[in-house]
Structure 1
Amino acid sequence: MLTQLTIKNYALIDELQVGFNNGLTIITGETGAGKSILLGGLSLILGKRADISSVKDATKKCVVEAVFDIAKYNLKSLFKIEDLDYEAITIIRREILPSGKSRAFVNDTPVNLDSLQALGERLLDIHSQHQTLQLTNDDFQFQVIDALAENSKEIDLYTQQLKGYKRLKSALDLLHSQKADAIKELDYNVYLLKELEDANLVTGEQESLESEYETLNNIEDIKERLSHSHQLLSHDDIGIVEQLAEVKSQLAKLAKFAKPYNDIYQRVDSSLIELNDIFSEIEDLENDLQADPKRLDVVNSKLQVLHNLMQKHSVETTETLIEIKEALSDKVSVTENLDATISEKEKEIKDVSLDLLKKTKAIRDNRLKVIPELVKQLEQKLATLGMPNAKFKVELLASESFLKNGTDLLQFLFSANKGGQFNDLKKAASGGELSRIMLAIKSILSNYTQLPTIMFDEIDTGVSGEISNKMATIMQDMSKQMQVFTITHLPQIAAKGDSHFKVYKQDVEEVTQTQLKKLNADERIVEIAQMLGGINVSNSALEHAKQLLN
């Protein structure tokens, strides 16, 4: 419930602070006194967009702050979702800065407007003629029926499973899309893959083939140079090996004389060993070297294949070609296995849909049970509100799709006159009738669910005195379950309140300001007498006011 409201520097309000109690609270005042200003301030708490033009003094900050006792509202889960600290006494503050920037806080934690709206709609329901159109909205009509049917738990379970079902459907749609794309690409991918597989790609093969190609392609030159090198090393008279052997022989005779001679001898000996090894290897290479035109053609062809593939795929190494081959293999494999994956996903969807259908049947059965009771209560309440011939027909039609709250489509039909045709509520009911229907529905709902604080904004417009008395009685009954505010021009309703506030204007230092004052017993008598007979209060009006209050 709303326990306190503070408004500073908003429209015609300089500064206002007022506390509220439970029960039925009446707000009255002359037309233009500022009741709409009060509602405008409260709408900021509900997350309405701020407008710098509504600030009284644009050089100062505008602040609207509301204190709510939410202990009975079961809002801990919502606070958790919105990442807010839960407090049984919650303070919502809205600020409009001189720059025009708006800020919102819940228990001193900054919040965005989406979070403020999510919380605000659970705390305060401002019922205006515009909101009456909500009656014709399917979502609202389902909320009413499901509240009476106590379907909240079943719908929560259904909603959670529906999310999973939609994810599965999206995954299946994606698989079908992938299959369609894959089928288009499959033949080409298979061709590319076979081309790479036929190449028998091996890591490092390119370098090996290029080396072999250079050898085979230049074999005569290589043989000639190896042969010449062999002769230079092994010639009997001038061969390098023979010459170095002679050097070694000469130094061997000096090695025993001193260490430097021995060191040089050892080095020559090592060089001779290495030179002999080189000689043997050149000899082996020369002997192994054979011209092979056929092998040269094979190597050349394989290199040409590699170069063509690299050019085709815009890569530079065999390793990258192998990676492309593996990726293509995966694509072809996935395409070939898509049908099995799709079948598996379809079976999973079928299992989930069967479970969803069980849940929707339970939801539908609960709705069908309470619809007659809802119709009965609505018609009874409307009869007391001057609509004795009002009749409702509520029908549930089956949908082939899973909707957000089941598989039902709703027809909420209304007839205002005896023998009249049933028609859609929006077409069949006038504005005044819709207001009374909304009051009747909210009063019924208050017996089945914890409604937020509700503020009726002149719901009694165009209503006669006797009907207004009935409306007041309904609001009184509602206020036993919840906090109810009503802005009214009718004394019959004003007299029913547990507390009474008056909105009025006064000039302070030649500046008009809107004020809100709680009336005591005597002031209430005068206020209601003025509502009965005008500003000049007569004794009969005072007596009548006392009778209404009693």
Structure 2
Amino acid sequence: MLTNLYVKDFAIVDNLDIDIDSGMTTITGETGAGKSISIDALGLCLGARAEAGMVRNGADKTEVCATFNVKDNQTAINWLIEQDMYEADQQDYIIRRVISSEGRSRAYINGAPVPAQLLKSFSSHLVNIHGQHAHQLLLKPDYQLDLLDQYASHKHLISQVTMAYQGWHKLTQELKQLEQEKSNRDARLQLLEYQVSELDEFNLQAGEFEQIEEEYKRLSNASTLVSDSQFCYNLLCENDEQNVSSLLQILVNKLNELIRYDANLANVSQILNEASIQIDEAGYELRDYLESIELNPERLNEIDDRMSLAMTLSRKHQVSASELHLEHQRLAEELKIIKQSDEKNEHLQHEVEQAKNLYWDAAKKLSESRAKSAKDISKKISKSIQTLNMAQGKFEVQINASNKMSKHGCDEIEFLICANPGQPLQALNKVASGGELSRISLAIQVLTASKIATPTLIFDEVDVGISGGTAAIVGQMLRKIGESTQVMCVTHLPQVAACGHNQMQVVKQNTKTSTQTTMVKLNQEQRIQELARLLGGDVITSNTIENARELLVC
């Protein structure tokens, strides 16, 4: 719960440091004194949007600190554990927000800097604020649905519906994208099928073009290869009159004779002897080569045709003939992907249908939960507004099923009211007066507040538009909630203020150069004086004092 609120240089607040007790605390003050400023400051501390205009005139910055005891707040503890900010031996956590006069904002939890969005996340487990304009929101269908869901406490069902809707929507968008591309894909498919079929038939293998190109050169020059190789072979070792092999052997023999006279020639003789052996080896190789060479015009024509077709296809696909095999693979892969896209289209259609069924199953469970809670809340609000000076009032939450899918489910909610006997139930915006709307709104807020797990509830002038005996009932309703939950209530009604376990007064002080607002705790006697002021205005008489005393006793 909230245990302390510190505010410095916020709007017209110079300095405020006040401890907050458990139970129901009412906040009162003269009109225009700034009773809601403390609530606004707390809202800023809990992550509301910061503006430079919030900084008190003449100050450099605004600072707001709120201290919360989380000892019995397991959801807040779980959040702190998830953020790695929980300390087992610590119960009090301080939220601090600083706004500079330029509008820059900084936020902290126990001194650790955090984004403002994180404050909002944390504060949702600490405080729930009901504003004075809630009765205006009550006419909006989205707000009505939100109120019903708060009362039903079925976040898990809403989460399931939201996730199912998002899954269905994502698949639907993918399918839509595929279908939009289908016409282009079909045209490309026809071209690819022709191209790949043509290349499949040609079936050029990796490295094949280089091989047939080499073979073509050999076959087309076979005559020259035979004649010139034969000439080289003859000159090397086959010519009867003179050949390289025999001449080299003569040289070796001659040098071997000379070695007897000079051993220095041994190395030369050795080199020439090795050369002679290499010459003989070369001769054997040339002989085998000559025996392998054949003139094959048929094979030459065959290779010529294949090379010509390869060149034709390479020009068609604008690649070199040596890259044609890779182009064939690329086109075949693209064709495969396009065919898979058609298969994916069919598969996606099936997935979309499954996702839709999953959504409707989740939406049905949510609708059933809403219907059950709608019946319950209708009875309780009808009973509540009857105690708020609408003796014959009847309230009903009507749920209309819709075929339209949304992340909130498929239900359309409408709040109906019958304020007078003999009249049919009609939509709030058609029949409810301002005062009736305020009472209905208050009844709903009090009822839903009892279902919300946050340990601190704040009601900011939610009793606008009611008075007299109705106000006393409202005060008793809020006090009952305060018996189990910390309640802070900004009010202008003495009947409500008197029901608080504690009371604070907001006072505005004006000087020639400045305006200041302060808030102080009231003791028993001070509460009687403040209630008397609320009852009688500026003139406080013994009668108003006595009436105030009676109110406080009640």
Q: TM-score range by the shorter chain?
A: 0.7 to 0.9
Q: Tell me by how many angstroms 1:381 deviates.
A: 1.0
Provide the residue aligned with 1:41 in structure 2: 41
Residue 444 (structure 1) aligned with residue 447 (structure 2): yes
Cα pair distance change 1:37/1:148, threshold 3 Å: closer
Instruction: Provide the residue aligned with 2:75 in structure 1.
Output: 74
Structure 2 counterpart of 1:381, one-letter code: S
Question: In 1, Cα distance between the equivalents of 2:452 and 2:13?
Answer: 35
Shift of 1:324: 4.2
Query: What residue is the counterpart of 2:122 in the other structure?
Result: 119
1:27 corresponds in structure 2 to 27
For 1:484-499, what aligned pairs fall within 5 Å after superposition? 484-499=487-502
Distance 1:34 1:185, change over 3 A: same
Is the CA contact 2:439–2:466 (under 8 Å) kept in the aligned structure 1? no
Counterpart secondary structure, 2:64: strand
Aligned to 1:396: 399
Q: 539-548 vs 150-159, which deviates more?
A: 150-159
Do the aligned partners of residues 345 and 208 (structure 1) sit closer, same or farther apart at CA in structure 2, a change above 3 Å counting?
A: same
Output the CA distance in 2 between the equivalents of 1:241 and 1:532: 139
Tell me the distance in 2 between the aligned counterparts of 1:9 and 1:147. Answer: 36
Question: TM-score by structure 1 length?
Answer: 0.87
1:275 maps to 2:279: yes
Q: What SS does the aligned partner of 1:74 have?
A: helix
Shift of 1:20: 0.6
The farther-off stretch of 287-296 and 202-211 is 287-296
For 1:114 and 1:182, the matched residues in 2 are separated by 45
Q: 2:546 aligns with which of 526, 543, 547?
A: 543
1:484 Cα deviation (Å)?
1.7
Residue 134 of structure 2, aligned match among 131, 135, 148? 131
Q: Does 1:53 align with 2:57?
A: no
Cα distance in structure 1, aligned partners of 2:308 and 2:11: 85
CA distance in 2 between partners of 1:257 and 1:33 (Å): 136
Structure 1 unaligned spans of 5+: none
Q: How far, CA to CA, are the matches of 1:254 and 1:58 in structure 2?
A: 120
1:100–1:369 distance in 2 versus 1, CA, 3 Å: closer
Q: Is the deviation greater in 7-16 or in 170-179?
A: 170-179
**In structure 1, the residue corresponding to 2:397 is in which secondary structure?**
strand
CA RMSD of aligned residues (A): 3.3
User: Aligned pair in 2 of structure 1 residues 313, 78: CA closer, same or farther (>3 Å)?
Assistant: farther
Change (3 A) 1:193 1:383: same
**Equivalent position to 2:471, from 468, 491, 499:** 468
Which whole-Å CA distance do the structure 1 matches of 2:46 and 2:316 have between them? 64
Name the stretch that deviates more: 105-114 or 250-259. Answer: 250-259
What's 1:435 paired with?
438
Tell me the SS of whatever aligns to 2:138. Answer: helix
Is residue 247 of structure 1 aligned with residue 248 of structure 2? no
State percent identity of aligned pairs: 31
Q: Which consecutive residues of structure 2, in runs of 5 or more, have no partner in the other structure?
A: none
Match of 1:226 in 2: 229
Match of 1:193 in 2: 196
Counterpart of 1:63? 63
> Secondary structure at the residue paired with 2:204?
coil
Q: Tell me, what secondary structure is at the counterpart of 2:403?
A: strand
Indicate which of 96, 110, 128 corresponds to 1:107: 110
* Partner SS for 2:507: strand
Q: TM-score, normalised by structure 2?
A: 0.86
Asked whether 1:416 is paired with 2:416, we answer no
- By how many angstroms is 1:5 displaced? 0.9
Provide, for residues 426-474 of structure 1, a one-character-per-residue CA deviation record: whole Å limited to 9, x for no partner. Answer: 4443444333222211222244442452322222223222221121112
* Worse-matched range after superposition: 305-314 or 206-215: 305-314
In structure 2, give the amino acid aligned to 1:33.
A
2: CA distance, partners of 1:59 / 1:532: 37
Is contact 1:5-1:65 (8 Å) kept?
Answer: yes
Cα deviation for residue 341 of structure 1 reads 5.0
The answer on whether the counterparts of 2:492 and 2:534 sit within 8 Å (CA) in structure 1 is yes
Tell whether the 8 Å contact from 1:2 to 1:66 is kept in structure 2 after alignment. yes
Between the aligned partners of 1:257 and 1:66, the Cα distance in structure 2 is 118
Does residue 209 (structure 1) correspond to residue 212 (structure 2)? The answer is yes
